Structure 1
Amino acid sequence: MPLLEHQLRKASAAGIRRVVFATSYRAAMFTEAFGDGSRFGLELVYVTEDEPLGTAGAIRNAAAKLTCDDHSPVVVLNGDILSGHDLVSQVAMHEKSDAAVTMHLTLVDDARRYGAVPTTSEGKVIAFVEKSPKPPTNQVNAGCYVFRRSAIDVIPTGRVVSVEYETFPELLASGETIMGYVEGAYWLDVGTPATFVQGSCDLVLGRMESPAVRPGGGVLFLNGSMVAPEAAVSGGTTVGAGAVVESGATVESSVLFDGAVVERGARVSRSVLGRGARICAGAVVSDAVIGDGAMVGPGNELRDGLRLWPGVQLPETAVRFSADV
């Protein structure tokens, strides 16, 4: 299912009833996937940016479709995040503290890759430290905010604006309160093929709870998939509709889209196979992305983040590839 379905169901479970999509690239696919939102118990409306406006500019642009008053809370969810945190508690903190913004902060082992956000003992944010070699805290911006509506309305219109580098620091400088809701629940930025696979497997295995998934058995077989009894499929793998895993094949911690085929003796691990992709007998695919309709011939080994573009046909060989093809 679309990644955003997990966010929509999380929002609905938290009592949200109206969602504004801030779209840009390939905007039409969102309406095709989600329609009016009625199947989630939501009203969905759509706003499209003609040119990307940045993380805050997108929020300001979407505000044109908000219907709440100036003091109401507005939840902002980044579309590429999987999070198990308690959204209801985050909103409750926001309303109790009368903050301009309440941010979800998650805890990481190494904050150097993220925006570190130190807070007081009461939870008030005191600074924003972006990607520092010596971060002052392991609390980092997790990409879920609750804004007071009036705080959105002061974001400049018609230009690129960053919420991390401009909006939040300016709110602090003006004396507004920004709260940090700290919760170390499951959290993943699903921004690369590797983390997409990780997120999918975590959902199937139940490490990340979602109202949209009922984990069980360690694998997910969609309707019409065919897996031979002598095949080994494990590690949170999803096998799409009409996909086939033949006898003697091994598939671990991977995502097989509809119609993908893994032939006898082939091995696939931590990878994505696109729609109609084929991994021929004896081939090895590890930490790779195989595009729609692509074929990996017998004897090939594709590893280390390789991406095989849609429709490419690799003939039988004995060469190991570790760069894009």
Structure 2
Amino acid sequence: MPLLEHQLRKARAAGIRRIVFATSYRASMFTEAFGDGSRLGLELVYVTEEEPLGTAGAIRNAARKLTCDADSPVVVLNGDILSGHDLVAQIAMHEKSGAEITMHLTLVNDARRYGAVPTTSEGKVIEFVEKSPKPPTNQVNAGCYVFRRSTIDAIPAGRVVSVEYETFPGLLASGATIMGYVEGAYWLDIGTPGTFVQGSCDLVLGRMVSPAVTPGGGVLFLNGSVVAPEAAVSGGTAVGAGAVVESGATVESSVLFDGAVVEQGARVSRSVIGRGARICAGAVIDEAVIGDGAMVGAGNELRGGLRLWPGTQLPPTAVRFSSDV
């Protein structure tokens, strides 16, 4: 299923019934996947940016489809995040504190790649430190906010605005209250192929709990998939409908989309195999992305973040590739 569905089901479980999608690139994919939301017990509406408006500009642009009053809480979720935190508790903190914004802060071992957000003992945000070599805390912005509706309406409309560099610091400077809801539950930014695979495997293994998945057995075989008894499939691998894993093949911690084929003796690990793609006998795929309809001939080794574009046909060889093809 689309990874966004986990967020939608999480929102519904928290009592949310109406969601506005802020879309831009390939916006039609969202309506094709989710329609009006009735399948999930939600009302979905869509707003498309014709020009990129930044993180806050996108929120302001989507606000024209909100129907709540000025004092109501509005939950804002980044689309590329998997989070197991307690959204109900975050909303409750926001309503109790009367804050303009309450943001989820997660805990990381190394905060240098993120926006560090120190808070007081009561949870009030003190400052925002973006991607510093010496972050003041290991609490980082986790990409889930509860806004007061009037705070969204105060964001300038029709231009690029950043929540990280303009909205949040500006509110703090004006004396507004921003609260930090700190919870170290499962959290993952799935913005790269590697973290996409990790997130999928974590859902299958139950490390990330979602209302959309019932983990069990360490692998997920969708209806119509065919896995030979002598094949080894493990590590949270998801095998799509109509996909085939032949005898003697090994697939570990990977995502095989519908109709993919891994032939006998081939090895696939920590990779994405696209729809209808074929990994021929004896080929080795490690930390790679194989596009829809592509074929990797026998003897090839594709490793280390390589991406094979859709439809590419690699003939049998004995060459190891480590850059995009």
Q: TM-score range by the shorter chain?
A: over 0.9
> Aligned to 1:200, what secondary structure does the other structure show?
helix
Residue 146 (structure 1) aligns with: 146
Q: Does 1:283 align with 2:283?
A: yes
* Aligned twin of 2:87: 87
SS of the residue aligned with 1:201?
A: helix
Per-residue deviation, residues 296-316 of structure 1 (Å, max 9, x unmatched):
111100000000000111111
Partners of 2:251 and 2:30 in 1: how far apart? 31
- Aligned position for 2:59: 59
State the Cα distance separating 1:40 from its structure 2 match. 1.3
Displacement of 1:231 after TM fit? 0.1
Question: Following TM superposition, by how much is the alpha carbon of 1:39 offset from its aligned partner in structure 2, in angstroms?
Answer: 1.5
Whichever residue aligns with residue 281 of structure 2, its letter is A
Q: What whole-Å deviation, never above 9, does each CA across 1:78-136 have from its counterpart, x for those lacking one?
A: 00000000000000000000000000000000000000000000000000000000000
Which residue in the other structure is 2:134 paired with?
134
Structure 1: stretches of 5+ with no match in the other structure: none
The Cα of 1:38 is off from its aligned counterpart by: 1.1
Q: 1:38 and 1:283 mapped to 2: Cα distance?
A: 43
Task: State how far apart, in whole Å, the 2-side matches of 1:143 and 1:102 are.
Answer: 11
Identity %: 89
Q: Deviations over 1:122-160 (max 9, x none)?
A: 000000000000000000000000000010011001111
Show the 5 A alignment for 1:264-275. Answer: 264-275=264-275
Equivalent position of 2:7 in the other structure:
7
Within a 5 Å distance, the mapping from 1:114-125 to structure 2 comes to 114-125=114-125
Classify the secondary structure of the residue corresponding to 1:126: coil
Shift of 1:216: 0.4
The 1-side partners of 2:30 and 2:313 are apart by 31
CA–CA separation in structure 2 for the residues paired with 1:41 and 1:86 = 20
Give yes or no for the alignment of 1:247 onto 2:247: yes
Q: Deviation of residue 29 (structure 1)? A: 1.1
RMSD: 0.4
Find the residue that maps to 1:258 and give its secondary structure: coil
In structure 2, distance between residues paired with 1:123 and 1:35: 38
2:102 counterpart residue number: 102
Partner of 2:73: 73
In the TM superposition, 1:151-166 aligns within 5 A as: 151-166=151-166
Shift of 1:46: 0.6
Instruction: Figure out how many residues of one structure are paired with residues of the other and give that number.
Output: 325
Give the TM-score normalised by the residue count of structure 1. 1.00
- TM-score, normalization by structure 2: 1.00
Extract structure 1 runs of 4+ deviating beyond 4 A.
none
Q: Which runs of 5+ in 2 are unaligned?
A: none
User: Which whole-Å CA distance do the structure 1 matches of 2:23 and 2:301 have between them?
Assistant: 38
Q: Which residue of 2 aligns with 1:191?
A: 191
Q: Match for residue 179 of structure 1? A: 179
- 1:261 Cα offset (Å): 0.3
Q: Shift of residue 41 of structure 1?
A: 1.3
| Alpha-carbon distance between aligned partners in 2 of 1:291 and 1:28, rounded to the nearest angstrom | 21
Deviation at 1:257, TM superposition (A): 0.3
TM-fit CA distance, 1:48: 0.6
Query: In the aligned structure 1, how far is the partner of 2:174 from the partner of 2:34?
Result: 39
Structure 1 position 53, deviation (Å): 0.5
Look up the SS of the partner of 1:141 in the other structure.
strand
Within 5 Å, give how 1:204-215 maps onto structure 2. Answer: 204-215=204-215
Measure, in 1, the Cα distance between the counterparts of 2:2 and 2:124. Answer: 35
